[in-house]
C-alpha cells in the first residue's frame, strides 16, 4: 500500500523531532566532560573503597582532562552518599564509587529515600578484592575442613565477628555456615577494625574479612589464616589455599567495588566513563597498586556490570532469607 503525502510528511516530522531530541544528548557526550567530576564515597578516607576512588580519580583526571574530586560522605553504611547520588543531576558529573556492602545496606535498610534498583545506572565494575578466613591461634585447626570438624563437635560454641549486621562479613560467614553445615554465633561490631581486635584478643574465634586486615597478623602468629576467596592464591600469602582448594568452592566472595551514575544519565556519557575506567584500572601501574591491596582490576561494560550487580543482589538476598537476617 502506497503512503499518502500526508503520511510521509508526518513520518518526516516525527523523525525530525526525534533527531532534535537526540542532538543535545549527542552534543553532551561529545563535549563531556567540560567541568569537574565528583566521585561520592560513602566511607571515611583511608579504607579500601576510598583508596580505589582516589586511585581511579587521578587516572580519569589525566585521561579526560578535567579535575575529579573525591567527596567522602560518611554515614549509614553508604546510604547517605547513595541518596545524594539519587538526587543528583543525571549528567555524568556526580558519580559514586561503592562496594558490595553498600549495595546490601541499601537493600536491607527499612527506610531509604531512593530505590536501589531504579534510581541508579551501572557504569563499571572496578576491582575485585580478596577476603581471608582467620581463626584465633587457640583453636587447634590449620585447614577449613579441620575448622568445620571442630565446629561440628561444638555447635553454637564458637563465635565469629563481623563489621555489622547485614554487612558482607556477616553474609559471607553465613554462607560458609550454610555450605559447611556448622553453627557459629554471630557477634557484630561497629566496623572491621573492632572485629579484628576481637579476634586477636580471643573474644571471637573466627573472622572472615578483608585479607589486608588479617595478613600481617598471620605473619606474626596472632591469627591463623585458613583460606582466601578468589580463583587463585594471593601472591602475598602463597601458602594459604583458596576456598575452592579447601573443599568449599561455593564460598566465593568478592569484595568488589564499582561505579554508578544517576538513572537517566545519557548512555553515551556512561559508555565514555565505562571505557575510561576499564582502560585506567588495567594499566600496569594501577594493577600493581591494586595487587598490593589484595585486589584485582576489573573493568566492564555498563550492561555487564548491571548483570553482575543483579546476580550479586539475588545471591546475597538469598543468604539473608536463609539465615533469617533482620533488616536494620
Higher model confidence: residue 309 or residue 14? Answer: 309
Cα–Cα dist 205/325, whole Å: 21
Question: What confidence tens digit (pLDDT) does each residue in 46-86 have?
Answer: 778 999 999 999 999 999 999 999 999 988 888 999 999 99
Q: Do domains 28-129+255-323 and 131-228 have the same CATH topology?
A: yes
pTM score:
0.84
Region 170-197 average pLDDT: 94
Domain locations in the chain as residue ranges = 28-129+255-323, 131-228
* 275, burial (CB in 10 Å: exposed 0-12, middle 13-18, buried 19+): middle
Q: Which class is 131-228 in CATH?
A: alpha beta
Question: What confidence tens digit (pLDDT) does each residue in 274-313 have?
Answer: 999 999 999 999 999 998 888 899 999 999 999 999 999 9
Cα–Cα dist 315/225, whole Å: 26
Estimate to the nearest angstrom the gap between the alpha carbon of 225 and the chain centroid.
Answer: 23
Q: Which class is 28-129+255-323 in CATH?
A: alpha beta
∠109-111-112 over CA atoms, to 5°?
85
∠213-218-222 over CA atoms, to 5°?
95
Cα–Cα dist 319/237, whole Å: 29
* Residue 292 · residue 48 · CB < 8 Å: no
Cα–Cα dist 116/186, whole Å: 27
DSSP of 77-108: GGHHHHHHHHHS-SSSSEEEEEEHHHHHHHHH
pLDDT beyond 50 at 247 = yes
Amino acid at each position: 500500500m502506497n503512503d499518502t503525502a500526508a503520511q510521509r510528511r508526518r513520518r518526516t516530522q516525527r523523525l525530525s523531532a526525534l533527531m532534535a531530541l537526540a542532538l543535545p544528548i549527542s552534543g553532551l557526550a561529545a563535549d563531556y566532560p567540560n567541568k569537574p567530576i565528583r566521585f561520592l564515597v560513602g566511607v571515611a578516607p583511608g579504607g579500601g573503597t576510598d583508596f580505589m576512588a582516589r586511585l581511579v580519580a587521578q587516572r580519569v583526571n589525566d585521561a579526560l582532562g578535567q579535575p575529579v574530586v573525591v567527596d567522602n560522605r560518611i554515614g549509614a553504611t553508604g546510604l547517605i552518599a547513595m541518596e545524594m547520588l539519587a538526587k543528583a543531576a543525571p549528567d555524568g558529573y556526580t558519580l559514586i564509587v561503592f562496594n558490595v556492602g553498600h549495595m546490601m545496606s541499601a537493600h536491607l535498610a527499612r527506610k531509604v529515600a531512593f530505590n536501589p534498583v531504579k534510581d541508579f545506572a551501572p557504569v563499571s565494575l572496578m576491582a575485585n578484592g580478596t577476603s581471608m578466613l582467620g581463626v584465633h591461634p587457640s583453636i587447634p585447626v590449620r585447614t577449613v575442613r579441620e575448622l568445620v570438624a571442630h565446629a561440628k563437635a561444638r555447635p553454637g560454641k564458637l563465635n565469629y565477628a563481623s563489621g555489622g549486621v547485614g554487612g558482607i562479613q556477616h553474609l559471607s560467614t553465613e554462607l560458609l555456615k550454610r555450605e559447611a553445615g556448622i553453627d557459629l554465633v554471630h557477634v557484630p561490631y561497629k566496623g572491621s577494625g573492632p572485629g579484628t581486635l576481637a579476634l586477636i584478643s580471643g573474644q571471637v574465634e573466627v573472622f572472615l574479612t578483608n585479607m589486608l586486615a588479617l595478613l600481617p597478623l598471620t605473619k606474626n602468629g596472632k591469627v591463623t589464616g585458613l583460606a582466601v576467596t578468589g580463583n587463585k592464591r594471593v601472591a602475598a600469602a602463597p601458602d594459604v589455599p583458596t576456598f575452592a582448594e579447601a573443599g568449599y568452592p561455593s564460598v566465593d566472595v568478592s569484595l568488589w567495588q564499582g561505579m554508578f551514575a544517576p538513572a537517566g544519565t545519557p548512555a553515551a556519557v556512561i559508555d565514555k566513563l565505562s571505557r575510561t575506567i576499564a582502560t585506567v584500572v588495567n594499566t600496569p601501574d594501577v594493577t600493581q597498586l591494586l595487587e598490593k591491596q589484595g585486589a584485582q582490576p576489573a573493568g566492564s561494560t555498563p550492561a555487564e556490570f548491571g548483570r553482575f550487580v543483579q546476580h550479586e543482589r539475588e545471591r546475597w538476598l538469598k543468604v539473608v532469607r536463609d539465615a533469617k537476617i533482620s533488616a536494620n
